[in-house]
A and B are shown apart, each in its own frame.
Chain A
Amino acid sequence: MVINEMLAQPQAITWLPWAVQYFFFIGIAACAALLACAARWLRHRHGEQCERVCLFIALTCGITAPLALTADLHQTARFWHFYAWPTPWSWMPWGALFLPLFTLLLGLWFLLFHLRRGDTRLLRALALATALTAIGLLL
């Protein structure tokens, strides 16, 4: 049987290149955060240097990624609806919780690291929490 389509409407592309950018940047940010966490927990002579570089990469990409994602919403200004109507059975609202949390923890870790404030235990806890949110995002 030979079937020729005479009239069939192709579906428009709805997830714009912004979504691809998000996946690119969040992938880098999450992996860099995991590496930085490993550098914080494993005692190595280059550990601090590795942590510094990874934190820088993670934070810059961790800020860019959510911006790209909000740009992919056709109604960008309604992003607050994610928090106004929590929907635990959909994956996307979980991302809307994990993403700001990840960037916030990362920013805090970055600040404390560079200001040389906070003891090692606090930084370690922060690193672990950030790594957990990074895993949440990667999942």
Chain B
Amino acid sequence: MDISKRQFLQQMGVVTAGAALVPLAEAGIAFGPERHEGSDQHRYAMLIDLRRCIGCQSCTVSCTIENQTPQGAFRTTVNQYQVRLADRDDVTNVLLPRLCNHCDNPPCVPVCPVQATFQRKDGIVVIDNTRCVGCAYCVQACPYDARFINHATQTADKCTFCAHRLEAGLLPACVESCVGGARIIGDLKDPGSTLSRMLATHRDDIKVLKPENNTRPHVFYLGLDEAFVSPLQGRARPALWQEVEYGH
């Protein structure tokens, strides 16, 4: 192959520029948030079987006790709706347990200005509250309203799937206390887990909240009506929520 000196020098330039970037890559300089901590042997997710939920709020209470959230702030709650069809008089209750969806594409993680919130290798999204500056950017970014500012620590707070309990071989507090057994946590990477088997059995009936946001949520719902998949804004009569007076 005939190669001129000019071409040779040009190609050497490209090679040199490329080689200059090698130490940058080796140094582990990231250009996007990376997953760290936890084990990549697991991918935790939750299935909420709405056919079994009775709206007793024991998950709300046990989570609050386990994680010591301040009064009036919850990592998980069960929304309750009353639904009446247009041509019918009878009403029915719809229950919708809400928590962090531990999305595979979490919008809360890349916005954090100090990398205090990150996703573990097992998919759990957590916050390092010794680093968090409390800017609430993540609270605004979450489409599921799953985050809040904890006024006891003045940092962002959210559900962690009770990672501290999972590591000790225990179930999350909400799963442990669910009277109907509606909350099922498991490992998606284990095809034999109850979660994986139930997801496979009910594949066509499984729904997630706001799929249009492409966040790839990992809290799955079984028995959720299509009407509740997307936000109810403007479609539901608002609730009468009474705040408990508390100082912070």
- Count residues on chain B whose CB falls below 8 Å from chain A CBs: 47
Kindly state the separation between the CA atoms of A85 and B80 in the bound complex, as whole angstroms.
Answer: 41
Which of B44-52, B106-114, B185-193, B203-211 sits within the interface?
Answer: B106-114
Q: Which residues of B contact A6 (CB under 8 A)?
A: 80-82, 93, 239
Q: Does B139 contact A (CB under 8 A)?
A: yes
Q: Known A5-B81, A14-B139, A93-B113; judge A73-B133 contact (CB<8 A).
A: yes
Q: How many residues of A contact B (CB 8 A)?
A: 32
> Which residues of A lie under 8 Å from residue B94 when comparing CB positions?
3
B83 touches A3 (CB 8 A): yes
Instruction: List the B side residues contacting A96 at CB < 8 Å.
Output: 113
- Structural contact, A12 and B81, CB atoms closer than 8 A: no
Q: Say which residue of A3, A12, A78, A93 sits within 8 Å of B148 (CB atoms).
A: A12
* A75 interface neighbour in B78, B86, B154, Cβ under 8 Å: B154
Q: Which residue of A lies closest to B113 (CB)?
A: A92
Contacting B83 at CB < 8 Å: which of A2, A11, A89? A2
Which residues of chain B come closer than 8 Å to A73, judged between CB atoms? 133-135
Contact check, B115 vs A85: say whether CB atoms are below 8 A apart.
yes
For the complex, give the distance between the alpha carbons of A82 and B135 in Å.
11
Residues in B whose Cβ lies below 8 Å from that of A85: 114-115, 131
B158 to chain A, nearest CB (A): 13
The verdict on B3 contacting chain A, using a C-beta distance below 8 Å, is no
Which residues on the B side are within 8 Å of A7 (C-beta)?
55, 77-80, 239, 241
| Residue of A with least CB distance to B86 | A1
Q: A87 on the interface (CB 8 Å rule)?
A: yes
> Are A89 and B110 in contact, with the CB atoms below 8 A?
yes
Q: How many Å lie between the Cα of A53 and that of B236 in the bound state? A: 52
Q: Looking at the assembled complex, report how far the CB atom of B143 sits from the nearest CB atom of chain A, in whole angstroms.
A: 11
Given A3-B82, A14-B136, are A8 and B149 neighbors across the interface (CB < 8 Å)?
A: no
Q: How many angstroms between the C-alpha atoms of A75 and B113 in the bound complex? A: 13
Assuming A79-B133, A91-B111, what are 8 further A-B pairs, CB within 8 angstroms?
A: A1-B85, A2-B83, A2-B86, A3-B227, A8-B80, A9-B79, A78-B133, A93-B114
Offer 8 A-B interface pairs, CB within 8 angstroms, sorted by A.
Answer: A2-B84, A3-B227, A6-B239, A9-B77, A14-B140, A72-B135, A74-B134, A93-B114
Lowest 8 CB-CB distances: which A-B pairs, in order?
A: A74-B134, A5-B239, A92-B113, A14-B136, A7-B80, A74-B154, A3-B236, A6-B80
